[in-house]
Structure 1
Amino acid sequence: MRRGTAARALSAVLMAAGLAAGCTASGGSTDDGRGSTAPSSRDPRPNGADGPSVLAVKIDNVPAARPHTGVDAADVVYVEQVEGGLSRLMAVYATRLPESVGPVRSARESDLELLRQFGRPVLAFSGAQSRLLPLIDRAPLEGVTPESSSGAFRRGTDRSAPHDLYLRPERLMDDPPGRAALTTGFRFGPPPAGGEPEDALTVRYPAARFTFTWSDADGRWPVSLDGVPATTTEGDRLAPATVVVQYVTVRPSDYGDFLGNNTPYTETVGSGEATVLRDGRAYEANWSRPTAEDGTSFTTEDGERMDFARGQVWVVYAQAA
């Protein structure tokens, strides 16, 4: 049975016993959230090498990390669960680069699968636990950390570590790579027939909550995080044109944090159901990503292509039933 779309509060309580409470990862590897300080031999990929690709930035999303900087300039914002039922963002930039992005935090194993669709993206992150670093080094991406590219990062003065690290994208790329680098599989155009009127939708993780409320005046979905309006450091409201709640498999990984919480692994390859919000309506859809190199296609229940509204897209990964 498909999920209803009226007055919903979607629960994504992801294996609370195994993920939120957690268990120590095999081998005893831990991550305190600040990332490993092990240096990297990588240099950021210059524009034009093997074709332009996107800039992806891993962003902190606990209350102490808000408001965010530069998230409103992203073309796509991915939301995924991390340890303790909390959440992090992955902001992807192709059409414009903000002066600053952050706070920047550590990478997770799921990020490697998610980013395969972009060819060879630049991934800016604060670090990762030691056992994950070799996987990142072998992945088809250019990892950028404060240790490998110190000039591309700065520390803010109004917050304490680890919520004070910011990326300066112009230190990595002279120009944005352009819309062609957005190999997400998303299509943009007029809304399909059908759908149901929707005023608000909430997605819940064990320790995080996202609410998207339709604004007729702005033609967007203003975001609230844990019941508080989400704004930028300049005071502007975060408000995507399209919101996708994508139902996926979220399972334990082989990694954990220093508290013993297991790191969830979000599987983004496969197929399943989704709810797409655009133009004040909710559409039940199906998603498909056959391989990690593919983008994700969306179709309506009738099998027609699901087009998104032009503007920023948020993709929230929620546990499939």
Structure 2
Amino acid sequence: MAACGGSGGANTSPPPDGRVPSDARVLAVKIDNVAAARPPTGLDKADIVYVEQVEAGLSRILAVYASAVPSVVGPVRSARETDLELLRQFDRPTLAYSGAQSRLDPLIEAAPLNALSPSEAPDAYFRSDDRAAPHNLYLRPGNIPHAPSGRNAAEDIGLRFGPPPSGGKPADEHTVRYPSARFAFTWSTDRQKWLVEMDGTPSRTADGQRLAAATVVVQQVTVRPSVFKDRWGNTSPYTETVGSGPAVVLRDGKAYDTEWRRDTAASRTSFTTPDGKRMTFASGQTWIVYAAR
């Protein structure tokens, strides 16, 4: 992928020194998720972890930071068209990514976000020598700079934290399958969190800590072919995050059937229980996994 020139749109470019605007609060980082890219660095500090399907049935992660920003995040990979619609829920977030297809550049430039690829902030990225390219590009958020706010980014999109609603069914495991990837979430009574597995292997951070989520949302969406292809000719899937449909919310060892709704790209996504009340989320990291219906 060529590095993206994401600074050509009106009011979308960062300042000339590669820093983000002083009022930018949310940092989104596109993270590689194939086996050669694991374990990730800094993923455990994200407020929200989005999982989406990409070419060849594989997965990629979009990690969103606000309350805490780690010193290093990665490995960083390229953006997809899906990310632009997804991130419209936030107020001009910064998107850190390795680059994008040249045909996608104009859409990134026009999007209401601060696009930050290595070409725009070379001092914020580095290549590690402990793994092979392209799985070795990392971001130093402090060189942007992007300071933590102390407020969970999930609040920016209207997610509500609090005690669990009534109902729900006891659950100790839930699996989501893509054509070439698999995620499993197992409830840990000791940690009071959902332990993450990828492709049958326990997921850990670079320092050996087990990845775990307080809440997991499995959101049923339409996944259709886009007009873009990767360098090998594989069609890039597009995940539609505007619309409505069923979702399962996992929290506190239970599974809650909910309905998600997002009327326009400028709207936030709401999650409601069958009785029409807003779904509440457990305090901590939230994983939102987009599953094709």
**TM score, norm. by length of structure 1:** 0.86
* Whole-angstrom distance in 2 between the partners of 1:308 and 1:283: 11
Aligned 8 A contact 1:119 1:293 in 2:
no
Report how many aligned residue pairs link the two structures: 283
* Whole-angstrom distance in 2 between the partners of 1:258 and 1:265: 17
Is 1:269 paired with 2:235?
A: no
Instruction: Give the letter for the 1:155 counterpart.
Output: R
- SS of the residue 1:136 aligns to: helix
Correspondences of 1:111-260 after superposition (within 5 Å): 111-179=83-151, 182-260=155-233
* Whole-angstrom distance in 1 between the partners of 2:150 and 2:20: 15
* Whole-angstrom distance in 1 between the partners of 2:240 and 2:78: 19
State the 1:38 CA deviation: 5.3
State the 1:157 CA deviation: 1.1
Q: Please, which of 26, 45, 51 is the counterpart of residue 73 of structure 1?
A: 45
* Whole-angstrom distance in 1 between the partners of 2:122 and 2:137: 11
Over 3 Å counting, the alpha-carbon distance change for 1:220 and 1:260 in structure 2 is same
Instruction: Give the letter for the 2:230 counterpart.
Output: D
Aligned 8 A contact 2:59 2:181 in 1:
yes
- SS of the residue 1:183 aligns to: helix
The equivalent residue for 1:294 is 267
| Deviation digits for residues 232-252 of structure 1 (CA, Å, limit 9, x no counterpart) | 000001100000000011110
Aligned 8 A contact 1:46 1:172 in 2:
no
Is 1:310 paired with 2:276?
A: no
| Deviation digits for residues 39-91 of structure 1 (CA, Å, limit 9, x no counterpart) | 5543242222xxx4300000000000000000000000000000000000000
Aligned 8 A contact 2:69 2:148 in 1:
yes
| Deviation digits for residues 260-294 of structure 1 (CA, Å, limit 9, x no counterpart) | 21100001011110000000000100011112122
Instruction: Give the letter for the 1:133 counterpart.
Output: D
Across the aligned residues of Structure 1 and Structure 2, the Cα RMSD in angstroms comes to: 1.3
Percent of matched pairs sharing the same residue: 61
Q: Please, which of 94, 106, 129 is the counterpart of residue 78 of structure 2?
A: 106
Is 1:90 paired with 2:56?
A: no
Is 1:283 paired with 2:267?
A: no
Q: Decide which structure has greater strand share.
A: 2
- SS of the residue 2:156 aligns to: coil
* Whole-angstrom distance in 2 between the partners of 1:304 and 1:143: 36
Gaps of 5+ in 1: 1-34
Gaps of 5+ in 2: 8-12
The equivalent residue for 1:56 is 28
| Deviation digits for residues 203-233 of structure 1 (CA, Å, limit 9, x no counterpart) | 0000000000000000000100000000000
- SS of the residue 1:114 aligns to: helix
The equivalent residue for 2:10 is none
* Whole-angstrom distance in 2 between the partners of 1:37 and 1:281: 43
Greater alpha carbon shift after TM alignment, 227-236 vs 292-301: 292-301
Q: Which has the higher contact order (CA 8 A, sep 6+)?
A: 1
Aligned 8 A contact 1:81 1:88 in 2:
yes
The equivalent residue for 1:30 is none
- SS of the residue 2:89 aligns to: helix
- SS of the residue 1:214 aligns to: strand
Aligned 8 A contact 1:215 1:221 in 2:
yes
Greater alpha carbon shift after TM alignment, 302-311 vs 102-111: 302-311
* Whole-angstrom distance in 1 between the partners of 2:205 and 2:25: 25
Aligned 8 A contact 1:47 1:177 in 2:
no
Greater alpha carbon shift after TM alignment, 70-79 vs 297-306: 297-306
